[in-house]
Amino acid sequence: MKDFNLNPFQYIDSYLEKGISNFRVPSGALYLSQSKLVSDMFNDTSLFQESSDFYTVDVRKGMLHEETQKFLNKTVMNHLKRSLGECKSKAIVEIGLISSKELVWPASGVRLMSEIYREAIIGRNPSDNLSKLYFRIVETSIINKDRKRKFLSHTLYSWNVNRVIKRELHKSDSNEKSILSIVASAPKITIDEKVSLFISFLFSIVATQAFTLSWVFYLMEQNDSYQASASSLLMESMRVWPVAWNSGRVAKKEIELEETKIKEGEQVVACTYALHRNKELWSCPHQFLPDRWEAKPKPSTYAPFGMGKHKCVAEHYSIDWLTFLIDSIKDKVDVIVQDINTPIPSPMLAPPEFKMKFRNES
């Protein structure tokens, strides 16, 4: 048996090859990829505790108040949609600035996304401290992923992030719309929960979207799929390597489905990586085939944005925006992939490093 911690994807593949859709990993959690169970896990709150990777800030306290969730979902999405025109213009300018340079991705994708969204996230006139901290979080926690940090420097860094964001949340101007000011004015949450939510929004907007975009270019080159449409490249990339590749819940009672028994209180994980590569649900599941998106997938077989009540609020927004970016970039670049290893496992999956250069089109 492969080592799950070293390479969870090989470990998962070895079960899928044997036709086993639901299996336990060494931590004891039950990984699910059978579509009925995955769908129940996301939808059936009589069987599984209602939860969300986003709005369950502290597992002991449960989910944030319903009013907080509704307020944030609505206000943040309105704000992002209103900022989209400006983000598109900024994207064109930023892409122009990086033209003709050979850059290393996904780091460059993360920097591009953080530049495009700076104003929408921290506002038009942020303090120097906030501006510096924003880019420090991007460099330290998203790009470097904190892997080699010593315990003390990591603790100091986290303490500083907390301190600065708390101060900025306190003084944020509610007349100016930014993710920071929206989170600052959210009802029924503590200041610590606000800090945590602000960071979650920053990560979703910058990291999740930049990593998804990076996967598209990486897989397009690897599979020589330059002719495919932006939309089918995106859908197929999110199938083969979903950035949010597992979401956890807890069973409320004993559940038995065919050969799978789940105990009350047991930790279950809807593994979208496994769902999307389950050979009972997808033909040639390990192959990158953008043309398969000429037809719609069967229900409950595709969930890069989750399912049910806590499905990603930004699903349609992200698809529109990323399709725009792929369309604006894909015919203008040469992609050079040297590292074809599987990605390093982390809660948000980034592709291995590759280089991308914009062609000189004079």
Phi, psi of 333 (to 5 degrees): -125, 155
d(CA 168, CA 202): 15
Q: By CB under 6 A, what part of segment 232-261 binds ligand HEM?
A: 243-244, 247
32 lines the binding site for ligand HEM (CB under 6 A): no
Choose which of 15, 23, 48, 54 interacts with ligand HEM (CB under 6 A).
54
Instruction: Count residues binding ligand HEM (CB under 6 A).
Output: 25
Nearer of residues 235 and 314 to ligand HEM, judged by Cβ: 314
- Counting beta carbons within 10 angstroms of the beta carbon of residue 296, is it exposed (0 to 12), middle (13 to 18) or buried (19 or more)? exposed
Q: Tell me whether residue 180 or residue 314 sits nearer to ligand HEM (CB atom).
A: 314
Q: How many CB atoms lie within 10 A of CB 3?
A: 10
Which residues fall within 8 angstroms of residue 133, CB to CB, at 6 or more apart? 160, 161, 164, 165
Comparing CB distances to ligand HEM, the nearer of 53 and 327 is: 53
Cβ atoms < 10 Å from Cβ of 61: 10
Distance of CA 76 to the CA centre of its chain: 17
What amino acid occupies position 63? M
Site for ligand HEM in 94-153 (CB under 6 A): none
Q: In angstroms, what is the minimal distance from the CB of 217 to ligand HEM?
A: 14
Q: Which of residues 198-237 bind ligand HEM (CB under 6 A)?
A: 201, 204-205, 208-209, 212
CA distances (Å), origin 215, targets 113, 137, 218, 222, 321 = 14, 22, 5, 10, 15
Listed residue (267, 224, 239) closest to 349, CA to CA: 239
Residue 262 lies near ligand HEM (rule: CB under 6 A): no
For residues 225 and 331, what is the distance between their CA atoms, to the nearest angstrom?
A: 11
**In angstroms, what is the minimal distance from the CB of 100 to ligand HEM?**
28
Of 11 and 305, nearer to ligand HEM (C-beta) is 305
In the complex, the smallest distance separating the C-beta of residue 118 from ligand HEM, rounded to whole angstroms, is: 15
Please, what is the minimum distance in Å from the beta carbon of residue 98 to ligand HEM? Answer: 21
Residue 153 Cβ vs ligand HEM, minimum distance, rounded to whole Å: 29
- From the list 145, 159, 149, 153, the residue with the least C-alpha distance to 192 is 159
Q: Does 349 bind ligand HEM (CB under 6 A)?
A: no
Q: Does 52 contact ligand HEM by CB under 6 A? A: yes
CB of 316 to ligand HEM, least distance (A): 11
Query: Minimal distance in Å, beta carbon 303 to ligand HEM?
Result: 7
Q: Which of 44, 50, 53, 94 binds ligand HEM (CB under 6 A)?
A: 53
Q: Does 310 bind ligand HEM (CB under 6 A)?
A: yes
> According to CB under 6 A, which one of 123, 290, 306, 343 is a site residue for ligand HEM?
306
Q: Which residues contact 308 (CB under 8 A, 6 or more apart)?
A: 39, 42, 43
Binding site for ligand HEM (CB under 6 A): 52-55, 69, 73, 76, 80, 201, 204-205, 208-209, 212, 243-244, 247, 304-306, 310, 312-314, 318
